[in-house]
């Protein structure tokens, strides 16, 4: 069942989200293995990263991945990597060899191919009893949600939502600029031990409500594994039924 937490304002969301991230990182690290965390771009997660950067010791052994990336260079203003680097990676002094950047400058297909190869080589695979290895299973994926209900760069009714095999996908027709992107596939997001989704602002209210309703390809975020999903929103973004 999805855990929904409402907070008074964006600052409270960031504080609560940072605590959640640290809790999951510590729990994974307690198993004495590598910890794999995927981070999203966007407005909502940025302050959470700034808060997390204040505890660099917590990131000493974490492997950092990305949920999606625009097909631009790492120094471009639109780069998710650049935002995460400035808000978390640099101030927390996370070693470059533990940061797995999506190479957007290679284009969607080649960038996705290389990222899928890296994921499959480094991240443990989900495995049900008696079944073959499934997709890479991250310990935690931090995500935002678009006003249209998209998550990562998985957009409403996109063919990529039907892809049950690819760890990473190239996107050429994003409805939001730029059109070319790289994104984790839905199977990887669904296989994560925990997804943490953040939303702030009244413009996200309808998307959050739709995400919590019946699963539908019209609302990609609604297709996440709800039993492993934590949603933290501010009062402005909270659906009416979740308020006061």
Residue 164: CATH number of its domain: 3.40.50.1360
> What would the mean pLDDT of 207-212 be, rounded to a whole number?
96
Q: What order do you get walking across the sheet with 168-171 strand by strand? A: 68-70, 181-184, 168-171
> What would the mean pLDDT of 83-111 be, rounded to a whole number?
97
Handedness of CA 80, 81, 84, 85 (dihedral sign): negative
Q: How confident is the model at residue 32 (pLDDT cuts 50, 70, 90)?
A: confident
Question: Residue 241: its pLDDT value, please?
Answer: 63
Which among 135, 126, 149, 137 has a CA at the least distance from the CA of 197?
Answer: 149
Q: Which residues contact 224 (CB under 8 A, 6 or more apart)?
A: 151, 189, 190, 195, 197, 211
Question: Residue 42: its pLDDT value, please?
Answer: 85
List the beta strands (DSSP E) in the chain.
Answer: 3-7, 35-39, 62-66, 68-70, 140-143, 168-171, 181-184, 195-199, 229-234
Residue 106 lies in a domain: yes
Residue 223 lies in a domain: no
pLDDT tens for 98-151 read 999 999 999 999 999 999 999 999 999 987 666 778 899 999 999 999 999 999
Range of the domain at 17: 3-126+134-216+232-238
Question: Residue 130: its pLDDT value, please?
Answer: 62
Residue 14 lies in a domain: yes
Judged against a pLDDT cut of 80, whether residue 78 lies above it is answered with yes
Residue 60 lies in a domain: yes
Q: How confident is the model at residue 33 (pLDDT cuts 50, 70, 90)?
A: confident
Residue 243 lies in a domain: no
* Highest-pLDDT range among 31-45, 99-113, 230-244: 99-113
> What would the mean pLDDT of 58-84 be, rounded to a whole number?
97
What total of structural domains would you count in the chain? 1
Residue 199 lies in a domain: yes
Residue 227 lies in a domain: no
Q: How confident is the model at residue 240 (pLDDT cuts 50, 70, 90)?
A: confident
CA 53 to chain CA mean position, Å:
17
Work out the percent of the chain whose per-residue pLDDT is above 90: 88
Question: Residue 99: its pLDDT value, please?
Answer: 98
pLDDT tens for 174-202 read 999 999 999 999 999 999 999 999 999 99
Judged against a pLDDT cut of 60, whether residue 22 lies above it is answered with yes
> What would the mean pLDDT of 154-172 be, rounded to a whole number?
96
Judged against a pLDDT cut of 60, whether residue 244 lies above it is answered with no
Q: How confident is the model at residue 7 (pLDDT cuts 50, 70, 90)?
A: very high
Distance (Å) of CA 56 to CA 87, 148, 176, 195, 239: 12, 34, 34, 22, 35
> What would the mean pLDDT of 13-17 be, rounded to a whole number?
97
Residue 176 lies in a domain: yes
């Amino acid at each position: 069942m999805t855990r929904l937490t409402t907070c008074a304002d964006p600052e409270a969301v960031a504080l609560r989200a940072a605590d959640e991230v640290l809790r999951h990182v510590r729990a994974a690290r307690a198993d004495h293995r590598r910890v794999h965390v995927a981070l999203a771009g966007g407005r909502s997660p940025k302050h959470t990263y700034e808060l997390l950067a204040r505890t660099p010791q917590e990131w000493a052994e974490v492997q950092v991945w990305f949920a999606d990336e625009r097909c631009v260079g790492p120094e471009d203003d639109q780069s998710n990597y650049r935002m995460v680097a400035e808000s978390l990676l640099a101030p927390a002094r996370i070693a470059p060899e533990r940061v797995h950047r999506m190479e957007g400058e290679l284009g969607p297909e080649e960038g996705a191919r290389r990222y899928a190869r890296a994921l499959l080589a480094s991240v443990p695979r989900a495995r049900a009893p008696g079944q073959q290895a499934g997709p890479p299973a991250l310990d935690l994926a931090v995500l935002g949600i678009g006003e249209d209900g998209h998550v990562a760069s998985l957009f409403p009714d996109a063919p990529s939502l039907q892809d049950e095999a690819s760890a990473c996908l190239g996107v050429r027709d994003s409805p939001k600029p730029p059109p070319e992107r790289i994104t984790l596939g839905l199977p990887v997001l669904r296989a994560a031990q925990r997804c943490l989704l953040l939303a702030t602002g009244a413009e996200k209210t309808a998307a959050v409500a739709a995400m919590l309703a019946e699963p539908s390809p019209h609302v990609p975020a609604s297709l996440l594994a709800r039993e492993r999903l934590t949603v933290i929103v501010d009062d402005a973004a909270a659906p009416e039924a979740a308020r006061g």
